[in-house]
Amino acid sequence: MDGNASCEESGNIDWDTEDELEIQDIPVSSCSRVMIPGEPVPGTGEASSSKDPSLAKLVHHFVGMGFSEELVAKAIEENGEGNTESILETLLTYSALAEPPQQQQCVNSDKSSSEYDENFLDDLSDTDSWNESKLAENTSSLSDMDKILLSLANMGYTVEEASIAMDRCGPEATIGELTDFICAAQMAKAADAYLQELPTEIKPKLNGKHKKRKYYEYELWKGKRQKGYQKKILDEDSETIRLPKPMIGFGVPSEAFMVPNRTLPEAAIGPPYFYYENVALTPKGVWDTIKRFLYDVEPEFVDSKYFCAAARKRGYIHNLPIENRFPLLPLPPHTIHEALPLTRRWWPSWDERTKLNCLQTCIGSAKLTERIRKSLEDSDDVPSLHVQNYVLNECRKWNLVWVGRNKVAPLEPDEVEMLLGFPKNHTRGGGISRTDRYKSLGNSFQVDTVAYHLSVLKDIFPGGINVLSLFSGIGGAEVALHRIGIPLKTVVSVEISEVNRNIVRCWWEQTNQKGTLIDIADVQELEPDRLEQLMCTFGGFDLVIGGSPCNNLAGSNRHSRDGLEGKESSLFYDYFRILDLVKGMMGSKQ
């Protein structure tokens, strides 16, 4: 999805395009009063003559987030008072490493939920919370879903975030998949913690000493769920479109499942062909609205992990044929070790990742990778379970790969280009910073996935194609069509980012395109008169393609997740407006 999120420096975290996160209001651990340098120590009778108000406010801020007084004092002493981001990162690191192994999620993300069901009941039978007979009485009647919820609560997660994870991941999701989902959401919540004021009352994070409270929370949530069930059914905005599992749409090269007899609504039949993309995980009702506007065409939900070594869950609505698709050749690498063979030498046996998570607009910091190195060097040859868990959690969140003994690093821009299917150095040079490269790539199409869908156009337009590319970004659609072998006769590229327009222009020149490239900065400039003028020049558009910004749709956006009514994501309506104008104009000429 080609949006225009901001990520000016690597220290300013940009979650505009993160599409894996859905959980909100994640509680943090409980805390007590913090000792501020210069403050009197209780019981000593000593008094401080003065106290820095800004320091006190800073300490109070992190205490309010739920960190213990010892960790806050240690983090401030280590990082100084001026760098709140480093303090937060230090606190998160210390908190993760301080948790005992039994409170950490399991390293093996492939373990089934049944394995956890056998263990979590034992954990709940602490004598200071529940005796065995009471525990059996309270859990014997639970359904499998409720047992998994209670199991996640026993691992330290709240029932609310566990239930949301199960709703988004599906009923067949393993405990490992659910904890990965929640872990990613906690990372986003932690990153947002210093960007906005937190509520005055913050629930304490549950741990192994509060089994009874966990069960009470579960029962309280269960009662609320039953009371709100009828209202949820009647809610007109409830999402009726469910994400498939596996997310392979109408078929992928490796799993050639094909939907037979796909029938398009009459209003959707071209010309022109159209192709729209956005994040799969959106607020409820969004894909229903998109579908309704785009002529009631059923979305095709596809995860790019079936095309490359990185996940990218997206929804596509189009009126293209679905028969006789073919993949780009040569096939891209499908695993991390195939894509990044030099990492194999340093990859530890306990890191069982074979695919990377969704590639983002920003990367993990050098300070984070240094903390990971130190935590591993302080361990034995094989790190303890809780250190392994901490390292793997960070590696999954930030797509870190192994580059040396005890050393992890974020992906380089060239590696991200390769994983997304772009040519080498596609975003390099021309005064473009590394930060801009990551931002532009994180907002782009996955070329191999899109090319597979567009491949059906090669036989339809052997002499070339006229394309209206809305929200072009760095030209994912143009690159896909070029790699398929379809000549680009005319491309009207509409993209608000000057950096991205320069990237597309450079690619156009470097690949010796024979057609015409027309740049337009803003989709709102495409009024009927302008469209008619363009179409009269070269005879109309064969394909209208684009993905409107997902800024207000992505699950990680805590500040303005307003759906299609948000400032950026409301530009979807411009995609529909322009497409409908093109259809009307081309239909009147037939």
Catalytic residues: 550
Sign of CA dihedral 367, 369, 374, 379: positive
Strands (DSSP E) contained in 151-294 are 204-205, 273-279
Residue 399: C-alpha distances to residues 16, 371, 412 (Å): 17, 16, 11
Two tokens, residue 410 = 């974020």
The vertex-148 CA angle with 144 and 149, nearest 5°, equals 115
Encoding tokens for residue 94?
Answer: 């210390």
In order of 6, 249, 293, 427, the CA distances from 422 in angstroms are: 22, 23, 31, 9
Question: Whole-angstrom distance between the N-terminal and C-terminal Cα of the chain?
Answer: 33
| Cα–Cα dist 253/573, whole Å | 32
- Structural Rg of the chain based on CA atoms: 26
Identify the H or E element spanning 150: helix 144-154
Instruction: Give φ, ψ of 537 to 5 degrees.
Output: -70, -40
Separation of alpha carbons 486 and 47, rounded Å = 79
**Distance between CA 396 and CA 353 in Å, rounded?**
8
Point out which residues pair with 466 in neighbouring strands: 490
Beta pairing, strands 488-494 & 516-520: parallel
Side chain identity at 328, as an amino acid letter?
L
- The strand pair at 273-279 and 401-404 is best described as unpaired
- Is residue 312 within 8 A of residue 446, CB to CB? The reply is yes
**Residue matched to tokens 């935590």:** 375
- For 235-246, b where at least 16 C-beta lie within 10 A, e where not — what string? eeeebebebeee
Token representation of residue 243: 């994400």
Give dist(CA 363, CA 366) in Å, integer: 9
Cα dist from 285 to 124, 163, 239, 292, whole Å: 38, 19, 4, 11
CB 14 within 8 A of CB 439: yes
Residues 440/503, Cβ–Cβ less than 8 Å = yes
Spatial separation of the C-alpha atoms in residues 139 and 134, rounded to whole Å: 9
